[in-house]
Amino acid sequence: MPRLATVSKTSLDRATAYEARRMEILHQAAFVFAEDGYHQTSVSTLAARLGVSKPVLYYYAKNKADILFQCVKVARVALQEAIDEATRGKMRGLEKIRRFFTAYAKIMCTDFGRCIALLDRKALSPAAHKRDALARRELEEAVHAMIREGQSDKSIVACDPVLTARALFGAFNGIPRWFHADGKLRAQDVADSYMDLFVSGIGRR
């Protein structure tokens, strides 16, 4: 029994170390892809920027496309968690919209968020592109539902949920194009300002 426990603990430690290193590499890769562009970054260049060898990269991913997919997946998981957090609370529709897009703005200001926002979808493999499209559609439909809920509880004025959602996503997806973490504005400041602008237009006075 003690021997089995030791082996189990060792395996767990290795898995934990592997996952920590994988996330570190993905984080750095997301930054490079966002800054330099996916197509403009070769595996050799990426390895050099990350300070590792190509075999090390291939230890954590099948190829460059797989690295990108894993980066996108990290961002998508965070976005799904933001949707879950916003929709599970007992709030009016407008408050759910504010909570979600505040979290959305913060995610878009991370390297993973910037990577997904600035990504050329054609860079994904057909299978990955299909999964990403499905995830985006589910995210949009969740926002449509929150807008309709806000219209039902009178916290949001009559408007087209689809067009309103597109306007919101369009505005927030543009943040990574100009936001800098070392700038004067914090992600929270940007989120609050953007939502104040939208709420003044769709919130009932």
What's the CATH code of the domain at 195?
1.10.357.10
Range of the domain at 169: 2-202
As a whole number of angstroms, the distance between CA 73 and CA 89 comes to 25
Digit-coded pLDDT (tens) for 136-179: 999 999 999 999 999 999 999 899 999 999 999 999 999 888 88
pTM of the predicted model as reported, rounded to 2 decimal places: 0.83
Residue 1 pLDDT class (50, 70, 90 cuts): very low
Compute the CA torsion angle 64, 68, 73, 79 (nearest 10 deg): 170
Q: What share of the chain is helix, strand, coil (3-state, %, to 5)?
A: 80, 0, 20
Q: Please tell me the predicted confidence (pLDDT) of residue 84.
A: 94
When divided into structural domains, the chain yields a total of 1
